Amino acid sequence: QDKLPPFDLAVAKNILKKELGKESFDQITNISNPVAAASIAQVHFANIETLEGKKDVAIKILRPNVEKIFNEELDALMFLAYIVESLIKKTKRLKLIEIVQLLREITNVEMDFRFEAAAANELYENTKNDLGFNVPKIYWNQTSKKTLCLDRVDGIPIREIENLKSQNIDTKKIAENIIQYFLKHAIRDGFFHADMHQGNLFVTKDGIIIPVDFGIMGRLDKKNRKYLADILYGFIKRDYKKV
Residue 41: alpha-carbon gap to chain centroid? 11
Sign of CA dihedral 67, 69, 70, 75: positive
Q: Are 137 and 124 in contact (CB under 8 A)?
A: yes
Residue 1 has pLDDT above 70, yes or no: no
**Mean pLDDT, the chain, as a whole number?**
94
For residue 243, what pLDDT band results from cuts at 50, 70 and 90?
confident
pLDDT tens for each residue of 138-154: 999 999 999 999 999 99
Cα angle 123-210-232, degrees, rounded to a multiple of 5:
65
Residue 184 has pLDDT above 70, yes or no: yes
CA atoms within 13 A on the CB side of 230: 9
Q: What is the pLDDT of residue 187?
A: 92
- How far is it, in rounded angstroms, from Cα 144 to Cα 231? 40
Q: Which listed residue (2, 112, 189, 195) is catalytic?
A: 195
CA atoms within 13 A on the CB side of 132: 13
Q: What is the pLDDT of residue 242?
A: 86
In 3D space, the residue among 140, 98, 133, 100 whose CA is nearest the CA of residue 117 turns out to be 140
pLDDT tens for each residue of 14-59: 999 999 999 999 999 999 999 999 889 999 999 999 888 999 999 9
Q: What is the pLDDT of residue 138?
A: 96
Range scoring the smallest mean pLDDT among 72-76, 138-142, 197-201: 197-201
Residue 199 has pLDDT above 90, yes or no: no
- How far is it, in rounded angstroms, from Cα 44 to Cα 157? 16
Kindly state the average pLDDT of the residues 2-6: 87
Whole-model pTM?
Answer: 0.84
Q: Are 15 and 147 in contact (CB under 8 A)?
A: yes
Kindly state the average pLDDT of the residues 197-221: 93
Catalytic annotation present for 195: yes
For residue 233, what pLDDT band results from cuts at 50, 70 and 90?
very high
User: What percentage of the chain reaches a pLDDT higher than 70?
Assistant: 100
Residue 127 has pLDDT above 90, yes or no: yes
Q: How far is CA 132 from CA 178, 189, 190, in A?
A: 10, 17, 20
State the DSSP code for 8: P
Q: What is the pLDDT of residue 109?
A: 87
Kindly state the average pLDDT of the residues 193-219: 93
Residue 159 has pLDDT above 70, yes or no: yes
In 3D space, the residue among 22, 66, 29, 34 whose CA is nearest the CA of residue 48 turns out to be 29
